[in-house]
Amino acid sequence: MNDAENTAAQRLLETGTLVLFRVVGTLTELSPDKENVAVRADLVLDGGAEDADPCEIVEWAAFGFLFTLATLSFQDAETARPVGTGIRAQ
């Protein structure tokens, strides 16, 4: 990665870690093969104040927040156990 790409990634991570959010719902379901679990989380970006406008928060925070989630997702995938070694659902 060159310096410009590194700087852009750092700024996105900074922005993504500054934004507050709330989990408003979760859903967990087994995959058809009963080997894997999918988790869905419904999140809302939050300004920390009652008068915060969600549209304004999304304008400055959305790309950084998504970039941060994607970065963490790839990191998690690197350390995940190999396919077929998961715990079987009963």
pLDDT digits (tens, 9 = 90+) for 68-89: 999 988 876 666 656 555 555 4
pTM: 0.67
Res. 5 pLDDT band, cuts 50 70 90: confident
pLDDT digits (tens, 9 = 90+) for 24-64: 999 999 988 888 888 899 988 887 777 888 888 889 999 99
Collapsed DSSP state (helix, strand, coil) of residue 9: helix
CA atoms within 13 Å, Cβ hemisphere of 73: 7
